[in-house]
Amino acid sequence: MAPSQQAKSSKSARSLLRRLAIGGCLLAGLSGANAQTPAKRPPTAPPATPQTVPQAAPQAVPGFWDPRRRPERPDLSRLTVIRFLTETDYPPFNFTGADGNPAGFNVDLARALCDEIKVTCTVQMRRFETLVDALTSNRGDAIIASMAVSPQLRARVDFTDPYYRVPARFVSRKDAVMPEIRPEYLEGKKVGVIAGSAHEAYLKAMFTDAELHAYPNDDALRSALRKGEVDFIFGDAISLAFWINGTDSGDCCAFSGGPFVESRFFGEGIGIAVRKGNDVLRQALNWALFRVWEKGRYTDLWLRYFSVSPF
């Protein structure tokens, strides 16, 4: 998660084009969905491997599948290998491990799906912008790279059900944390947000009495909160969770209120892309995603990579 970013300050400009996908049921019992900008993935977390992410208190793990809608087991006999494509450098979702092999949340999930389907699994890392062309030219079978579902991409590829989504949340300084945030609570408060983002559009529509301050990138946004120029900042929760618990924040800040989910602002979610018409693979992956979640393997992966709860 990813994902509407920022592992490194050099990725700040890139973050304006790659926004979150938020939508559907974010927590057990929490419904509604969001996903951000079409065709792109959510913002990246800082470049730390799971082993270096600070551990936090036990957290609730999001559930994206309805146990009452158990998919039927498809015919898997025609599948012998799945060639997954993922991105080269997008920690903690995908990155090069210490052994030189692909690693990360997306990579481990892909391998768990292949294990469930009982097929050979390969994972090839490519630049994000080349992934769809590689898939459509049959250089891979599926893209698992924190890719946001969008109408534009649906014209070129098919998607599985969403396998994760990212809530939007407010962050304040630690001495001003609010357990709940409603529009009336932020009347006259200074709220920072990335200019031109879906988060800014949401605040303009829903928090009309707040005083909005737009910033060009995440570094400027977070610096404004640390310096006290704004009372809150609003953005994607996965990126913010890593920042809050990383050294760059200086232990200044914490989440205020809970997750926000609005599908008409933030879209459909993050899915696995397959070639148009490849229903055999799409249905197999949907079945395997449900099984991995039902068995608790998804929860194990989530806690391994996201010990700091974005929810």
H or E stretch at 110: helix 105-117
Which tokens is 284 given?
């197999």
Q: Domains of the chain, with CATH numbers? A: 9-165+268-305 (3.40.190.10), 168-266 (3.40.190.10)
DSSP category for residue 229: S
Which tokens is 298 given?
């998804």
The dihedral over CA atoms of 90, 91, 96, 99, expressed in degrees to the nearest 10, equals -170
H or E stretch at 220: helix 218-226
Report which of 250, 249, 252, 256 is spatially closest to residue 233, judged by C-alpha positions. 256
What pLDDT shows up at residue 164? 87
Pair 105, 245: CB distance under 8 Å: no
pLDDT digits (tens, 9 = 90+) for 290-307: 999 999 999 999 999 887
What pLDDT shows up at residue 60? 59
Residue 251 has pLDDT above 80, yes or no: yes
pLDDT digits (tens, 9 = 90+) for 30-62: 333 333 333 444 444 444 434 333 334 445 576
Spatial distance between the Cα atoms of 98 and 95, rounded to a whole number of angstroms: 10
Residue 310 has pLDDT above 50, yes or no: yes
**What is the C-alpha end-to-end distance of the chain, expressed in Å?**
12
Q: What's the burial of 156, exposed, middle or buried (CB within 10 Å: 0-12/13-18/19+)?
A: middle
